[in-house]
Amino acid sequence: MSVRLSNIGKRYGATRALNGVDLTLTGGRVHALVGENGAGKSTCLGIIGGRTVPSTGEIELDGERVTFASPAHAASNGVVSIYQELSVIPSMSVLHNVFLGSEPRRTRWTDDSAAMRTAYAQVASRIGADIDPDVEVGSLSVGDQQMVEIMRALSRRPRVMLMDEPTAALGPRERQALYGVIAGLRDEGVVVAFVSHNLEEVLGVSDDISVFRDGELCGSGPSDQWSRDSLMSAMIGHPPQVDLRGTSASPKPRKELLRVDGLSGGRVEDVSLDVRAGEIVGIAGLVGSGRSTLLRLIAGAQRPTTGRWQLDGVKQPWPSSVRSARRQGIVYLTEDRKAQGILPESTTAENIVLGRLGPVARRGIVTRRSVRDHADVAGRQVGFATTRLSTNIGALSGGNQQKALLARVLHAKPRLILADEPTRGVDVGAKDEISRALRDIADRGGSVMMVSSEYEELAENCDRVLVMWHGTVVAELRGPDIGVDTMVKLSFGTEGLT
Amino acid sequence: MTQVSKTMVTRPDDTASSRPDAGRARSGVRRVGEAVALYAPVLMLVVLVIVASVLNDRFWAPENLRNMLTQNSALALVAFGMTLVIIAGVFDLSVGAIFAAGSVIFAMLSNEVLLLPAALITVVVGALAGAVNAYVVNSLRVNSFIGTLATGAVFSGLVYILCDSSPVQARREGFETLGLGRIAGVPCALIVAVAAFGLCAALLNGTIFGRYVFAVGGNAAAAHLTGVPVRAVRAACFVLVGALAALGGMITGSQLGLGQPTLGSNIALDAFAVVVIGGTSVYGGRGALWRTASAVLVLATLTNIFNALAWDTTRQSVAKGLIIIAAVALDAARSRSDHA
């Protein structure tokens, strides 16, 4: 099995998303595509998978020229994709989602329910998923929804499996299961190609790595010839600046900003913690361990059942709403930038100033100019390019959207930022700038609590990490104790320790 | 480890994108709540039937029941089609116009040709009207709410032109059979409605097409990426509701003995009311035909009660409007707790 691309290109109007790509993917090898957002790797997968029609070039499947009109057409030729955004139907059951569009049929009009259940049991055991086939997908965690999507792809018996950021929503355990499946597919001779921003994952899982930059393929080779640094340099076109955490690991005691005691609500049970001025506190834990709920409770977005709140050493009632938390300087950055973050049809500047229009308005009137000026001030702090402020935010890359949302948070003059997966699905450049911006905030005396599924990121950025398991904080790591392996082990609770 | 995975499949209580956080204690309460919501139309029906039995001592008289069912058969047809359309995530506001067209065209044709061909042609015209809606929504990419509001105006205008703005007297013998006749004591209209129910229920629950209807309404973009023929599924729903609306118009016209261009002005709202009272989500992707059927009976019983109370149609209209708002608010509250 092999897929050969020759001179593949894609234009959107005047923009070249992809240009003159020649690439061969061979069966029995795992191929990783890396690059910054907008570099063309997702477009490349989309073209192979029938989602995007190329403007130039040819695709050959086992030496035979093919043109796919739709994802369904590609799937019928054994080319199956897992998309970056979830493509499950929340209101339908897991079982029906897995076989949607490829139902085992009894007659032309009806499906074969028994065959479906047998096939489900097989595919679920293959990936080690313990998900009830009859529950609605919308009731699952994002990680489990991603597993449903992976099962759907597997059940189509792919000859070519294309995965765009398949692990972004997965916790460590599910990631391992997926790596196992990828290895299995490889051994069966399936062509496996995936896009990932996680370079450790790329280096660990793939046999070949291709690097994209500005719509062109700028390097390709077996993965043992690449290193984290050489990948970074190839992606950004120059050597990366080292020393992220650098100078600021100052151990001197700081003033307590917020203290929370006996907090319970949703999945969170009896959590106590404090955040000091000038500190970045990481929250580690598996998907579903209560990390996001913890942030949402503190942000006033969800009511706790119990909990005591002490700000600047003064006891106060728990903030009753997001507004009241914001009045105390506590600002929340959502993990779901599309659904809960951006107003896609408004300009980036309007998006940035949205949370705090008071100082933007003069006598109640908001002018385009003052919006721009205020957005510019906030945007600069996160390295957001001034020239893009008047672009609709929906047209920006994920990384730039995320930077704009962080600028929105900064525009609110926060004392404590609650950031949920602040770098999910963004490219390395943006990730770097976001990490740097958070560090800047801490250096200037602000505080940050961040949730991340990428423990490398927590290890690099945080002064302190709280590890959650089943709604409780099971460990607190400081400075040199913050290690990826330690966090992974603790995330699994005592049961996970071997 | 088993414990970890088990907690991962509990329901989320905050956003769709965040973690599942429902405690185990709450899931029991929730299950009861869901069961109540699921069977709400049936519970409502039971309560209303009891009220009606008390208020109207002739409620259980066969004549009364038969009248109730006959009078609401046309509405039921439209509501069944509407259920599929709404589950598929679109609206059809042109059903009123197609309904009127059904009565007028059936009356005019039956004056020229035999009843059966007249009936078949009328149903096909209704289906074609549905195909026009599908074209406007699918190919011209007009929002279905606006699109079918506009095609409804077009259809309605054409009907007025066709019959010169006046009712069409039906002259052929047997014209009333469809609406008022009985077979073995069972009203023909009821037989048609039950058959339509059977057809729609079989389509929706028994076939892959039905599964696709739910998928398209649940998340059209995802369904497309998964290989579901989104446009074809929506088109089929529009065609089906068009045909059923025309059939409904024929039944009502047959009951009146004429083709009436003003018919059906309330049918879209009534059908909509019935569908949402039946708990079908206006956001698409969720719903059930049997609940729509129960809701038709709810509305029928309610009308019976109003009549027993000697309320006129103006008061009935106020009550009906309020009930629709309550049903939609319930739907919104439910999907809030599910999604946002």
**Chain A residues in contact with B215 (beta carbon < 8 A):** 89, 92, 96, 100
Considering A14-28, A188-202, B74-88, B292-306, the range whose residues carry the highest mean pLDDT is B74-88
**Are the Cβ atoms of B211 and A288 closer than 8 angstroms?**
no
Element (H, E) at A265: strand A256-265
Say if residue A379's pLDDT is above 60: yes
Closest-CA residue of chain A to B1: A495
Structure confidence at residue B335 (pLDDT): 63
Structure confidence at residue B319 (pLDDT): 85
The torsion of the CA quartet A118, A124, A128, A133, rounded to 10 degrees, works out to -110
Counting residues of chain B whose pLDDT is more than 90, the rounded percentage is 66
Structure confidence at residue A239 (pLDDT): 66
| C-alpha radius of gyration, chain A, whole number | 24
Within 8 A by CB and 6+ apart from B329, the residues are: none
Question: Angle at CA B238, nearest 5°, toward B233 and B244?
Answer: 125
Predicted confidence band of residue A243 (pLDDT cuts 50, 70, 90): very low
Residue to mutate among B7, B21, B34, B212, with most A CBs inside 10 A, is B21
Which of B8, B10, B226 minimises the CB distance to A101? B226
**Are the Cβ atoms of A143 and B228 closer than 8 angstroms?**
no
DSSP string, A116-158: HHHHHHHHHHHHT----TTSBGGGS-HHHHHHHHHHHHHHT--
Counting residues of chain A whose pLDDT is more than 70, the rounded percentage is 95
Length of chain A: 498
- Whether the CB-CB separation of B73 and B189 falls below 8 Å is answered with yes
From CA B292, how far away is CA B280, in angstroms rounded? 8
**Are the Cβ atoms of B19 and A111 closer than 8 angstroms?**
no
Closest-CA residue of chain B to A303: B14
Q: Indicate the domain borders of chain A.
A: 2-236, 246-329+414-496, 346-412
Q: Indicate the domain borders of chain B.
A: 40-339
Here the tokens at position A211 are 């690097």
Phi-psi domain of B313 (left: phi exceeds 0; alpha: psi -120 through 50; beta: other):
alpha
- Whether the CB-CB separation of B275 and B287 falls below 8 Å is answered with yes
**Are the Cβ atoms of A110 and B19 closer than 8 angstroms?**
no
Ranking A4-13, A39-48, A246-255, A341-350 by mean pLDDT, the lowest is A246-255
For B202-266, where are the alpha helices, taking DSSP H only?
208-218, 220-225, 230-256
Residue to mutate among B5, B17, B213, B219, with most A CBs inside 10 A, is B17
Predicted confidence band of residue A470 (pLDDT cuts 50, 70, 90): confident
Predicted confidence band of residue A97 (pLDDT cuts 50, 70, 90): very high
Closest-CA residue of chain B to A142: B17
Higher per-residue confidence, B40 vs B110: B110
Buried/exposed code over B119-145 (b: 16+ C-beta within 10 A; e: otherwise): beebbebbbebbebbbebbbeeebebe
Distances (CA, A) of A470 to A291, A359, A488, B24, B40: 10, 42, 14, 13, 35
Structure confidence at residue B258 (pLDDT): 94
From CA B207, how far away is CA B222, in angstroms rounded? 20
The torsion of the CA quartet B181, B185, B188, B193, rounded to 10 degrees, works out to 150
From CA A432, how far away is CA A314, in angstroms rounded? 36
In which residue are the tokens 């989500």 written? B281
Over residues B17-36, the mean pLDDT reads 54
Over residues B304-327, the mean pLDDT reads 86
In which residue are the tokens 């719509």 written? A215
Share the mean pLDDT of chain B: 87
Structure confidence at residue A35 (pLDDT): 83
Structure confidence at residue A296 (pLDDT): 93
Structure confidence at residue A99 (pLDDT): 94
Structure confidence at residue A162 (pLDDT): 95
Over residues A147-158, the mean pLDDT reads 92
ipTM higher than 0.85? no
From CA A130, how far away is CA B6, in angstroms rounded? 8
How far the first Cα of chain A sits from its last, in Å, is 40
pLDDT tens digits, residue range A426-469? 878 888 889 989 998 898 889 999 999 888 889 888 999 999 98
**Chain A residues in contact with B19 (beta carbon < 8 A):** 141-142, 267, 287-293
B192 by Cβ neighbours in 10 Å (0-12 / 13-18 / 19+) ranks as buried
Structure confidence at residue B331 (pLDDT): 73
Structure confidence at residue B248 (pLDDT): 97
Residue to mutate among B5, B9, B19, with most A CBs inside 10 A, is B19
Within 8 A by CB and 6+ apart from A123, the residues are: A98, A151, A154, A155
Third-level CATH fold of A246-329+414-496: Rossmann fold (3.40.50)
Considering the segment(s) B40-339 as one domain, its CATH architecture is Orthogonal Bundle (1.10)
Over residues A167-180, the mean pLDDT reads 84
Structure confidence at residue A493 (pLDDT): 64
Helix (H, G, I), strand (E, B) or coil at B268: helix
- Whether the CB-CB separation of B82 and B239 falls below 8 Å is answered with no
Which of A89, A139, A336 minimises the CB distance to B285? A89
Structure confidence at residue A417 (pLDDT): 94
pLDDT tens digits, residue range B227-241? 899 999 999 999 999
Structure confidence at residue A245 (pLDDT): 46
* Number of cross-chain residue pairs from A and B with Cβ atoms under 8 Å apart: 162
Phi-psi domain of A180 (left: phi exceeds 0; alpha: psi -120 through 50; beta: other):
alpha
Q: Does A106 touch chain B (CB under 8 A)?
A: no
Here the tokens at position A333 are 């950055």
Which of B19, B224, B228 minimises the CB distance to A291? B19
A316 pairs with which residues across the strands? A309
Over residues A219-239, the mean pLDDT reads 84
Say if residue B3's pLDDT is above 70: no
Structure confidence at residue A248 (pLDDT): 46
B234 by Cβ neighbours in 10 Å (0-12 / 13-18 / 19+) ranks as buried
Q: Does A264 touch chain B (CB under 8 A)?
A: no
Query: B124 to chain A nearest CA, in Å?
Result: 23
Here the tokens at position A183 are 């290895």
Which of A87, A140, A301 minimises the CB distance to B222? A87
User: CA A273, A275, A281, A282 torsion: positive or negative?
Assistant: positive
In which residue are the tokens 């039905």 written? B210
Structure confidence at residue B4 (pLDDT): 36
Single out the residue of B224, B231, B276 nearest to residue B87, CA to CA.
B276
DSSP string, A305-350: SEEEEEETTEEEPPP-SHHHHHHTTEEEE-S-IIIII--TTSBHHH
Distances (CA, A) of B255 to A127, A187, A426, B252, B260: 61, 70, 65, 5, 11
Over residues A360-379, the mean pLDDT reads 87
Structure confidence at residue B15 (pLDDT): 36
In which residue are the tokens 């709810």 written? B298
Single out the residue of A490, A487, A384 nearest to residue A437, CA to CA.
A384
Phi-psi domain of B128 (left: phi exceeds 0; alpha: psi -120 through 50; beta: other):
alpha
From CA A92, how far away is CA B149, in angstroms rounded? 30
pLDDT tens digits, residue range B101-119? 999 999 999 999 999 999 9
Structure confidence at residue B293 (pLDDT): 95
From CA A406, how far away is CA A380, in angstroms rounded? 11
DSSP string, A193-213: EEE-S-HHHHHHH-SEEEEEE
**Chain A residues in contact with B13 (beta carbon < 8 A):** 266
**Chain A residues in contact with B18 (beta carbon < 8 A):** 142, 292-293, 296, 335-336, 420
Q: Does A101 touch chain B (CB under 8 A)?
A: yes
Structure confidence at residue B27 (pLDDT): 56
Considering the segment(s) A2-236 as one domain, its CATH architecture is 3-Layer(aba) Sandwich (3.40)
Share the mean pLDDT of chain A: 87
- Whether the CB-CB separation of A223 and A202 falls below 8 Å is answered with yes
Considering A162-171, A482-491, B71-80, B216-225, the range whose residues carry the highest mean pLDDT is B71-80
Element (H, E) at B3: helix B2-8
Structure confidence at residue B328 (pLDDT): 79
For A157-304, where are the alpha helices, taking DSSP H only?
172-187, 199-205, 228-236, 291-298
